[in-house]
Structures are given as C-alpha cells and as structure tokens.
A and B are shown apart, each in its own frame.
Chain A
Amino acid sequence: MITANLDIDYRKKLILKRPLLTGGIGLTNFCNLDCIHCYIKDDNCNNRHEELNTKEIFNILEQMKDAGVVYLNLSGGEPLFRKDFKDIYLFAKKKNFAIIVMTNATLITKDLIELFKKYPPLMLEISSYGATKDTYESVTRTPGSFVKFNKAIRLLKNSGIKVVLRFITMKNNYKEAAMAEIFAKKMGMRYKCSYNIYLRLDGDKAKNAVIKNQRLNAEETVDLFNIMQEDLNEFYSSKLPECGSVAGCGAASIGCFVDSKGMLMPCYYLAKPSVSLRETNFKKAWKSIALAKSPIIEKQKVCKDCQHMVYCNWCPGISYLETGNTEKKIEYLCGLMDRLAKMKLIGCQ
C-alpha cells in the first residue's frame, strides 16, 4: 500500500508538474570560519542588520509551509552562527518540515546534540575540508577549527542523528579525500565528495582568484578519481538536464532558495530571477519565479556544438556566477572537458 521513495519516474513526474517540494534558507552570510573557497561569506559586520530577523524568518517559514515545501535546508554562511538558530529550528520543526542543516559542525555543542536527538532533523550535512589538521586549517584559515570539527563529529557518533560528511575537494585537500571517507565510515556516517567549488556570489575579484586557483585541473581530477577509486567516465556521463525542468535540475521547479536578505531565487547560485520576500508574499513571488519564461535554460541550446555536452557539469547557476549570464559557456569547464577528452578519459558523444 505504500511505495518507497522518490524514484526516477516519480521525480520526473514531479518536475513536470512542479509542485514546490524543497526550499532552502540561507540564515546568514556570516561564518566563524574563513574558508578559501567560500562563495558566500560576508566579512563586513555592518551588513548584518540587512539579514532577515527571527520574526521575518518565522513568517517566511510559515509561508513556505503553506506553499507546500516539505524539505527545508537551513544553510549559511554558517547557520549555527546565528544566536536564534535554536528558535528557528524549533519553529521549523513545529511546522513539520523535514529539515536538513548544512553546517561546518564547529559550533555544535552538547546542548545542540540533545536538541537534535529530541527533535531530529532529516540529516545534518557537515562540510569536511581535510583529514589532517594542517590540511583542514589550510582551507578554513582558522586555527583550532580542526579540533572543534573533530570534537563535534565524535559527539555526534552513535547519537542516532543522521549525518552526511561532505568532503569539498580542492587543490589543498583532494589527496585526503579517501582518508576522509575512511574517517566518515569509522564514525558511522555517510560520506559524499563534492567535486566542484564555485565563484563568489558577490563577484569579489580577489577572492575569486583564490577560488580559481583552488580548482582541480584535469590531471588532478584524474588523480582524485584514482584516489577515490571511482570511475571518472561514469561520473561525468549523463549530465543532461531532466526533461521539463527550468534549470536542468529541481531549481525553480520543485526547489527554491531564500537568501539571508529575503530574496527568493531558483537556487543557491542562481539569483536570476529573484523576488524580495520583504516586498512580495511567498506564493506570488514563487509563481513569478517558477513560471518565469526567462531564463528557460536549455543546456542543449548553450552547448549544442560541444561533443562533450553529456559529460559536463554546466548549469545556469554556475554560468551566472562565472559570466554574469545564465546562458553562456563556462571557459573553465570547457577546458576541463577538452583536456579529459584528449586524455581519452571521457568518451565522445
């Protein structure tokens, strides 16, 4: 009488019908760490007053619930950096969301673990930046952060709280990806590896230069897949967008994101189109985004002449961050795909 999970057919059906299913809120752009690859962190304390206050967040959550959102991602910056995090979390729990908290874990306390045990999230998604102190802190640029991270993970071990450790790969740390996986398994946690880092939302040129410098080139990508003992060709294949989606994924069809200043947008990276929830109610704002004629993104349109199209991670969000335009080729990805093809590591379509 029951049927399990979002299988592919059901997901396709949902995307075509576009019921809003997942929503994210970036609770803050501030963070206690200073990661070299961060696409969002704001260093200017004067901007904090622009962020949504507790009451505004409650109001948005209320509206998201009414609009049908089931899965709620609480992210940042670092969401635990907010003093009212517990209040927001409990409010969201009362609204019956399936909550995913995306955190670096370094601010997790015993009190918070008790809260999560009593009122469980669907999962905690914890970013991991290295398996050793030197590597981890070469990414976070925050002395003492590795100890805090480890302490939190050990507190979470056997707590019954579902945790995914997401290893964010870049030049500084990719050689430790397999070690991080072993650590995750030892702690009884799921492990995921992220293969991309993104340019900054604010377009900061100096910080973008650092991020670009941390991206893996083709040789390092191959090295990483060897370390992870994963099939690169398999990973990169079938990257074509799902039929009927606006942006090649769930963005603006079954998913949306609200940034820390209350702008509703298709996803974390795609701020176009966006509508202020301080000026427009959620349902109206969502309607204008989900049904927007522009940008209707078709990867086939942007990449139609490229023989590596089915292997590439191109998406309108990344295109927007890289070029300021949702429908442009991304030089970095084109170069990476070309090089992998020349090395005969991805096939030609």
Chain B
Amino acid sequence: MGDNFLKKVYKKDPETIYRLVDDEPVIIPLRSDVDVNDLGAFYILKNKTAAYIWELIDGKRSVEQIIDSVLKKFQVNPEKAKTDVVCFVKELKGIKAIDNI
C-alpha cells in the first residue's frame, strides 16, 4: 500500500444513508451499483472500529490521520490498524459510500 493512498482524503457520499437498525450501524449507499435485493445495498458495520472509522471519514482527515486516531482509540498494533483502515476505506470506496476529495 503506497504512501499516496495514505495521504488521500475521503468524504462520505451525501447519498449514503447511515442509520442505527436494532442498535447496529448500517449504511445504504444509494449510488452503489450493487443491487442485491429489493432493499438495495444494505451494509452492516460489523464492529466498533468500523463505526469509528466511518465517523472519521469527514472530507478533512487523511487515511493516515484516521489510522493514527484508530491507534489512539483502540489497543491494536500499528500494522493491524493500517491494514484494517486501508481495507475498510477501499471497501467503502468500492460500494460508492465514500469518494475522494
């Protein structure tokens, strides 16, 4: 994973819906090409880290800064934090829930 990617800043797509459903954080990216069923693409953010990263994607912080914040918030080793954040950001980009600045 190159440094360029770590410097990138992402913002949430305004057409991505974020809600708590039965206390679980859920996102529904309306611009997603994935049309899995009648209810469209429906994604559950599986853990606290995912929900926290989602919160941090604000169009201001770079991927690198998000990794730093995750390291401060959770007790994980730096490599794991980096891998998790990068993978998650790529997943979100893939379903068009976020976009580059």
Contact = CB atoms under 8 A, between A and B. Distances in A.
Contacts of B91: 1-2
Nearest to A20: B21
A142 B20 CA distance: 44
Contacts, number: 78
Contact of B21 (A3, A70, A120, A190): A70
Interface string B75-99: 0000000001001100110010000
Nearest to B43: A2
28 contacts: A1-B47, A1-B49, A1-B50, A1-B53, A1-B84, A1-B88, A2-B45, A2-B92, A3-B43, A3-B44, A3-B46, A4-B41, A4-B42, A5-B37, A5-B43, A6-B37, A10-B44, A14-B22, A21-B21, A68-B19, A70-B17, A70-B28, A96-B19, A97-B17, A98-B30, A120-B15, A122-B30, A122-B39
B86 to A, nearest CB: 11
B1 interface: no
Contacts of A122: 28, 30, 39-40
B12 to A, nearest CB: 12
A19 B22 contact: yes
B36 interface: yes
Interface of B: 15, 17-22, 26-28, 30-31, 34-37, 39-47, 49-50, 53, 84, 87-88, 91-92, 95
Nearest to B92: A2
Given A2-B92, A4-B34, A70 B46 contact: no
Please indicate which of the listed interface residues A14, A21, A98 has the most CB atoms of chain B within 10 Å of its own CB.
A98
A121 B41 CA distance: 13
